[in-house]
Every structure is written in C-alpha cells, then in structure tokens.
Amino acid sequence: MSKNLILISILIVLFSFNAFAKETNNWKGIINPIEQEDWSIAKASHLLERAGFGGTPEEIKFIYNLGHILAVEHLVNYEKLPTKHLLRFEESNIHDPGLINFPPSRPATTKLAKETGEALGIKVKESGNRKMQPIVNKFFFWLRASRLETQRVAYWWANRMVNSPRPLEEKMTLFWHNHFATNETKVRDYRKLLLQNETFRLHATGNFKELLIAVAKDPAMLYFLDAGQNVKGAPNENFAREIMELFTLGVGNYEEKDIREAARAFTGWNTNDLEFIVNKDKHDSGQKTILSHTGNFTGEEVIDILLDQDAAAIFIVKKIYKEFVNEEVNNIIIDQYAKILKSNNYQLKPLLKTIFLSKDFYSTENIGSHIKSPIELVVSTYKKLGLNKSPGIPDFNQATTAMGQTLFWPPTVAGWAGGSSWITPALLMERGNFARSFLYPDIDFIPKDFYSPDPKIIVMHDAIRNGSDITNATKSSNGGESVMMMAEGNMMADRDEDFNTRYGSYRGWQMAVSKVKPIPRHAAEINFTKMIIDSGAHNTEEAVDYLINRFLTVKINNKKRIMIISFLEENLGTNNIIDAKSYLEDSIRMVVHLIMSQPEYQLG
C-alpha cells in the first residue's frame, strides 16, 4: 500500500469514527439487513471485531472494500480461504500405550499394580524397597506432561487465533469450548483435548445437531462427564444432566425424571482411548420416557428429542447473541433468530449471516458494547498490532490466567460466566498491566510452565541432589522438623514402603520437563516509530488520534484525549512528530500503554 493510500484510509477511519460518536440509529431489534449505503469503515471494524478478533487498519479497509454482503460472506463462508500455512500441532513425544486407560487417581494406580503386578505399562519390582516407585513416578510424569502439553496446545491455538485467515472459525471454536466446557484437570490427556478442539473447529459454523452428537461421542467430554460410570442398572446422570441443563435446554425446561431417563439412553457410551465405543452389554435398551416421548431410545434419538424442543433453539441462539451481539437480550429478537436456526435444521451459517447483516447488529447500542474476554483481549491486541503470532514473553497462558481465563481450564462445566464477570477492579488493572508486559518485556521472565509451582518439590529437589535419602527429603520438603521430631525421623531413616508419593511427584516433574518441548520465548517485535511515521501523523495530536482510532472501538472522552496528547508533547519536548522521529519509540510505547489501560480498551 502506498503512503497516500494509507493516509486516505486513515482519514476515512478518522472521519467515520467522529461521525460514529454523533450518529445514533434506531436499528435495535430490527433483523432486516443493512443497505450498502449504510456500510462504513466503522461498521466493517465492528464486524471484524465480533466475527473475529479485530484487525489492523489495512485489514479493516479490506473488509470495508468488499461491501457488506461479500464481507459477511468472506467471514462466514471461509472454507475457500487456505490455511495450509497454519501448522498442525507439533506433539512432544510423551504418550505411550501403557498410558491408555490412565487410572483416575494415584491410589487407583497403585491398587491396580498391587492386584495385577503391573500398571501404566510398568511391572512392580520383584524385591527391594519401593517396588512400585517407577509406576508412581510415571503416574506423576503423565499428570505433569499432559498439563504442560495442554499449555502448548493452548499456545498453538492462540497462534491460530492470531494468524488464521478464518477468524470466525477460531472464534466459534472458542465459543464451543466455553459452551461444552471441558477441563484438563479432570480429563488429564492433552490428546483428548486436542481432538476435541479439532472437533469444535470442524463443526464451528456447521450444524449444531452434528456438533452436539460429535460432542456426546467426544472422548474428552465422555471422560469429563463420567460416561464410563454410566452403565445399565446404575446410570450416572452427569452427562444427561449437562446435556439438558447446559448444552441444549437450560434449567426449567425439563424435569429430574427426564434426566434419569435420558441417562439410561446414554448408558454404555464410552471411549476406548481416542475412539468412541458403545458397550452393548452395558446399554439399557429398555423403554424410556423423555419430555413426553416414549420409546427405547438411543443417545442419538434423545438428542433429536432435545433439539426438537423450542427451548433448545432459543437457548443456543440466546448464547450466540450474548457472545456476538450483546449481553443484554430481548426475547422478541431471540425468538426470531431461534426460528431461523430451527427452520434451517440447526445449520448455523444462515443464522450467523442474518445476525452479521442485521440492522440490530449494527445498531448504536450494539457497537462497542461487548466486554472482551481475556483471550479476546490478548488476541485482538496482537492482531491490531499486526503480529502474526503470540509473543513468548509475556506467556500467553500466564497473561490470560492473570486476567481470569485459561484455555482448556474453564472453571466449571458451566464454562466462563463472561460479560461483566470478566471485570473486577484488580482484573481491570491487570488488563492494563498486560499491555505493559509486552511493551516492556520482563527481563527476569521465568517460564513458569516448566517449573513446579509447588515449593515442596523444589525443597525435595535440593535435598535429593545433596544426597538425602527419600524419607528425609520428603520430611524436609514438608518444611523441616522440630528437633524432637527430627530425632524420631532419624530412627526410621528411609522407611521401607511400597512407594513415596512426594518423590514420585518430584521425579515425575523432572521426567515431564525432559520430554515436553519448550515454548519459544521471543518478545514482541513492534516498531511503533514506523507505525506512526507511516500513518502520516505530523504532530502529537494526529499521532494520538491515530493510535486511539487504531486501538479503540469506543472513544475515550476528549479530556482524557487531551491529557494524553499533552503527555506525548511533554515527553517529546515538541509537538512535531517528524522532528522527534529519532527518539519517538519509547514515548509512543508509553502512549500505547495509556490507551490500552483505558476502560474503553476492554470493549469491542
């Protein structure tokens, strides 16, 4: 793009931005499409914010130039856009067949070892102290390794969000991750979570019914909701409850007996490692009555019954509307959209297109009304800066965790509450601190993902390295002993035991960090001087306005703007950008930090 073109596009951005502040329309609640003459840079920016993670002025210009119909087409019918440059997740070599059917707990593992002489593919030692130690070590190895690898999967996904030409595909994948919330802490197998992530992506904007069936057969979900314990004669209601309460209908649209009966239909649904299986002998094929339908239903038929309820389409549409349009919903528009979803047999694209073309979507009340989740905030920040991947410092997962969200670790099966619950006073400050953390990378950054968060392990590590026996190392890792206790401890130095859990935890950590590939730790490379010079800004006012327009959907008020302009001017010792060109960088960084610390920066 030539300088002139950029300048023109900036002027357009500025113009429409100012116009937006004054303009109000009365489009709220109207699902009819906007007209070409309504289309503007501001609306293109809004579309890209919501159907994706926002973008640079150039990317917004591209969407604008397509016109509203083709723009929505481009974002929703994304299958033509090549994603070959997006690499598949590069796995560390941590899994082996011994880890298949990983027991639910350490006691279950050692119990299995005791009973069968083997667990996790390792035999119990014939004789000697701590005969099961290698098994316990491997148990903890896998806990740590899967957790670290899941953090790598999260990084890989974050990079996709930043770099995919199909932002809606990633955004909907994120949406389904929240809707069908599954947590690594229970699943404890990155492979299952990766598979689930790919399933969400495959069905991201496809058919909700197909997605729901895929999720019902998804190994991570089946494990997460205790499918293995749902058997004929002793049904476990966990999955049946969640499918009604959280996935399709919502509380109040079913009764407890519907859950009990539906659980029977899902009996025998299980996984064999990464494959879905039905244990026929554990399936209850008897007659069930669910939501007034009676028959000897299978799981798939239950899903049919659920999605046949009007409440189901309303439930899904409401959730989509809240995420993509506005946290505040009105039932009239929800009913209209629910009809569209249902009449299209739960195909999502017709619904999404209608939403993204509607006047309601572009109504004044709905622009800049969305509080970004921590993931959206970080990804959109990187996108607006024009980065094509997440930096390694700050760590993506640590940064979002500090703000309250961790990919693959939703807090409960209900997912993240979203909306205003993202914001607490301290978390709002944390969001500003995030901006600072990539503008001024920590020079004492420690990749915490590779270090035990448990100080006991570090103490154990030191004690073992210095030649302590396992018993005493364990004791010192408990924080040391009083003199009296120490004497008692010495009497029983290095106890004879089947295994030592703390040592296993420590050794497992070592084994995990030896095998899991590290996350690259590059800092963000951004040239703000070039950004400002290329923008054509001549003075501090133009530079600040450029940055405000580039980064904020909702404008800060003029007092604040003037404060920032004078700050820049004072800092540069001049209001002339060209004169200050050689030392612009740090001052602009401070301005970017100030802009990104504004409450308005949380909105998209």
Q: Can residue 593 be called a binding residue for another protein (CB under 8 A)?
A: yes
Distance CA 452, CA 502 (A): 13
Q: Rounded to the nearest whole angstrom, what is the least distance from the CB of residue 598 to another protein in the complex?
A: 8
Residues within window 254-283 making contact with another protein, judged by CB under 8 A: none
Q: Can residue 335 be called a binding residue for another protein (CB under 8 A)?
A: no
Q: Rounded to the nearest whole angstrom, what is the least distance from the CB of residue 257 to another protein in the complex?
A: 16
User: Which of 84, 425, 466, 467 is close enough to bind another protein by CB under 8 A?
Assistant: 425
Residue 509 corresponds to which amino acid? W
User: Which of 45, 109, 137, 183 is close enough to bind another protein by CB under 8 A?
Assistant: 183
Tell me, residue by residue from 446 to 485, as one string, x for binding to another protein by CB under 8 A and - for no binding. Answer: -------xx-------------------xx--xx-xx--x
Q: Can residue 289 be called a binding residue for another protein (CB under 8 A)?
A: no
Distance CA 531, CA 508 (A): 47
Closest CA to 151 of 418, 450, 363, 453: 450
Torsion sign (Cα): 545, 547, 553, 555: negative
CB neighbour list of residue 6: distance below 8 Å, 6 or more residues apart: 57, 58, 534, 535, 536
Distance in Å from the first CA to the final CA of the chain: 26
Residues within window 13-32 making contact with another protein, judged by CB under 8 A: 21-22, 24
**DSSP bridge partners of 576:** 539
Q: Can residue 529 be called a binding residue for another protein (CB under 8 A)?
A: no
DSSP 439-460: HS--TT---GGGS-S-HHHHHH
Residues within window 562-581 making contact with another protein, judged by CB under 8 A: 563-564, 567, 571
Q: Rounded to the nearest whole angstrom, what is the least distance from the CB of residue 412 to another protein in the complex?
A: 5
Q: Name the residue nearer to another protein (CB basis): 89 or 445.
A: 445
Q: Rounded to the nearest whole angstrom, what is the least distance from the CB of residue 4 to another protein in the complex?
A: 32
**DSSP bridge partners of 123:** 118
Q: Can residue 238 be called a binding residue for another protein (CB under 8 A)?
A: yes
Count CA within 13 A, CB hemisphere, residue 122: 17
Size of the site for another protein (CB under 8 A): 78
**Only segment of 194-202, 267-275, 384-392, 418-426 that touches another protein (CB under 8 A):** 418-426
Q: Name the residue nearer to another protein (CB basis): 76 or 143.
A: 143
User: Which of 16, 146, 369, 373 is close enough to bind another protein by CB under 8 A?
Assistant: 369
Distance CA 371, CA 64 (A): 24
Residues within window 377-416 making contact with another protein, judged by CB under 8 A: 401-402, 404, 411-414
User: Which of 19, 38, 96, 107 is close enough to bind another protein by CB under 8 A?
Assistant: 107
User: Which of 375, 432, 459, 529 is close enough to bind another protein by CB under 8 A?
Assistant: 432
Q: Can residue 116 be called a binding residue for another protein (CB under 8 A)?
A: no
Report the C-alpha dihedral over residues 82, 84, 87, 89, rounded to 10 degrees. 80
DSSP 156-215: HHHHHHHH-S-HHHHHHHHHHHHHT---HHHH--HHHHHHHHHHHHHTTTSBHHHHHHHH
Q: Rounded to the nearest whole angstrom, what is the least distance from the CB of residue 569 to another protein in the complex?
A: 13
Distance CA 124, CA 181 (A): 37
Residues within window 292-331 making contact with another protein, judged by CB under 8 A: 327-328
Distance CA 81, CA 484 (A): 71
Q: Name the residue nearer to another protein (CB basis): 31 or 554.
A: 554
Q: Can residue 518 be called a binding residue for another protein (CB under 8 A)?
A: no
CB 207 within 8 A of CB 165: no
Q: Rounded to the nearest whole angstrom, what is the least distance from the CB of residue 403 to another protein in the complex?
A: 9
Q: Can residue 523 be called a binding residue for another protein (CB under 8 A)?
A: no
CB 223 within 8 A of CB 272: no
